Amino acid sequence: MSAQPMRLIVNPVAGNGRGAKLWPRLSEELHAGGTEFDYVFTEGPDHAVELARQAVAEGCRLIVAVGGDGTMHEVVNGLVIEYEVPAGVVLGAICCGTGSDFARTVGLAQDPLAAVRRLTHGSDRRIDLGVIHCWREGRQVVECFPNAAGLGFDGEVAARVNRMSKAGGGTIPYLTGLLLTLITYENKPVTITLDDRTWEQRANAVVVANGRYFGGGMHIAPDATPDDGLFDVIVIGDVTKLELLMQVPRVYRGTHLSHPKVDAYRSRRVQVESPQRLILQADGEYVGETPATFRLLPGALTVRI
């Protein structure tokens, strides 16, 4: 199968319509640089998964997600076939969504026009990839994530944000969702297993991070490295609503790990269970519910940075 030009998968509704507004300028920049490419537009949820799979099947070797973290999440899941990305396939990204959390960690350009130039003149970086086994609508599902996943309060916030307008972009939608969720959310009992260690506690949230940022710039896992073969697991314990609210500025600065009810661990495998319903998000997208198991595929994804 002969290699095809780069394929751009464009989400026109990313960033509250920013994807559609930017695309003519981005396309013009690509043509001006003499870049050979083709493109497709997504038409709804999960369509980017299908389009990425089609691009791989047609021999594309540089597949570019044009959108936010959710678009990136879908494209990555389209690239993975039987727990691996086919040899020679590289992921590119042009960030124009609500958040750019994945970009912050791996070194992608957050300016869309700068990102266009890096597609042809950038270098490649191999990073780890997370795999989730969880439950959705009564059936077991498997999904991959390049950046971060969260259970509990974080999952509830992400679910709410995805139902809201994302006008303003960046941190504004996540902060709004956080404050609205805070009013009614109650901490849950959880059983956590990290590799061969298991314990029970009451927790507000469990974050399984490959990257450092989530929620539109929250520095949730400040020590995470996406190519070290380990998850950084952040457990926010039985904090009160006031304690959680007071920690929000510290999370943006990455100084929250010193709080006595916040613990950080490293692990290759994570399992979380609860007798109550715990919503799970990955890269800001609703994935499912507990029980959930996370494992790492070291160096599975190559990213053009």
User: Which positions are catalytic?
Assistant: 69
> Which DSSP category does 113 fall into?
H
Find the DSSP H helices in the chain: 14-32, 47-57, 69-79, 101-106, 112-121, 153-163, 171-184, 241-253
Q: Which helix (H) or strand (E) holds 141?
A: strand 139-145
Length of the chain, in residues: 305
**What residue has token string 């957050």?**
110
Joined tokens for residue 286: 């609703």
Q: How far lies 168's CA from each of 95, 279, 289, in Å?
A: 15, 25, 29
Contact residues for 46 (Cβ-Cβ < 8 A; gap 6+): 74
Contact residues for 283 (Cβ-Cβ < 8 A; gap 6+): 69, 70, 72, 73, 101, 102, 145, 146, 147, 148, 149, 214
Dihedral, 19, 24, 26, 31 alpha carbons, nearest 10: 150
CA-nearest of 208, 200, 184 to 274 is 200
